[in-house]
Every structure is written in structure tokens, then in C-alpha cells.
Amino acid sequence: MQISKHSVVSIHYTLRNDAGEELDSSVGGQPLNYIQGMGNLISGLEEALEGRQAGEKLNVTVPAEKAYGEREDQLVQQVPLTAFGGVENIEPGMRFHAETDHGPHVVVVLEVDDEHVVVDGNHPLAGETLHFEVEITEVREASQDELSHGHVHGPGCDH
């Protein structure tokens, strides 16, 4: 079966940056399972997998605009320390959920002083070209329940 809209796909992958550093991998663990066409993967990887089938291995380079987008300077902001509602010991690298006009958004703390916190709302991989080594391990039709819930059902799923 070929990968097409609404098929369940299982892949093993290794993700590297332009410098060749490994950023993430499923090799040696559980494969990543997703439903094609449901926005569960970055668009560039999903496009590269369309029409492929189980057993195929491929290398995919995904430019930033088809991954996590370009970095946006306006997403780096200084906010008052009081906006953190009494959270003690705020340190660079910490992540928080911020309420925005477009819903909740994850921000990363860059700097902290006595009155302000500088946060970055960009995805950590924004602006990066991503390199994937992918092995497609399984392709099957999605069940109606999976389609209605928008994700793959399997071990550990409570639906």
C-alpha cells in the first residue's frame, strides 16, 4: 500500500541539522506513527513520504519554510517578571505556556534580571534546514475512530 491521505504510517527516522549533528532519532525505539494528511508531521517530510511504501528508505532535506518556519524576531520579547505569577527561580532554558491572541504558545526563557524576562516564542528548530534519514516500516488504512480523533490508536491509547 502506498502512503496517501489518511493512511497510517510508521517510520523510523534520524534527524540531523546542517552540521550533521543528530537532533533526534527513533532508531532502537518505537517507530513514529502518524496519519498522512492530518498535519501531524512537518509539511516537507509529509510531502516527501507521499506515494512511498513500507520497506523504502530515503533521505529527505527539508528547508525551514517547510519545517518550523523562519525565525521571527518579533517572537523574542521582554516581559515583566510579574507575568510569571510567582514562579520562583526562573532560569534560561525553562519553557512556559503563554496565552496569545492565537491560543497557547510555548516560549523559552533566554534571559532573566530582577524585573524582566526575555522569552523566545520561536520553535527551537525555526530557521533550520532539517535532514532526515527515514525507513518506512508500515503503511495501512486508518480506522474511522483514528480519523475522527486525528491520531493513530495503539498501545497506550485510552480511546
Q: What is the pTM of this model?
A: 0.84
CATH of span 73-120 = 2.40.10.330
Which fold, 7-68+125-149? Answer: Chitinase A; domain 3 (3.10.50)
Long-range contacts of 112-115 (CB under 8 A, 24+ apart): 112/81, 114/81, 115/80, 115/81
Spell out the domain ranges in the chain: 7-68+125-149, 73-120
The mean per-residue pLDDT over the stretch 133-141 comes to 98
| 86 has a pLDDT exceeding 80 | no
Say what the pLDDT of residue 157 is. Answer: 60
Say what the pLDDT of residue 159 is. Answer: 55
pLDDT band at 103 (very low <50, low <70, confident <90, very high): confident
Mean pLDDT of the chain: 93
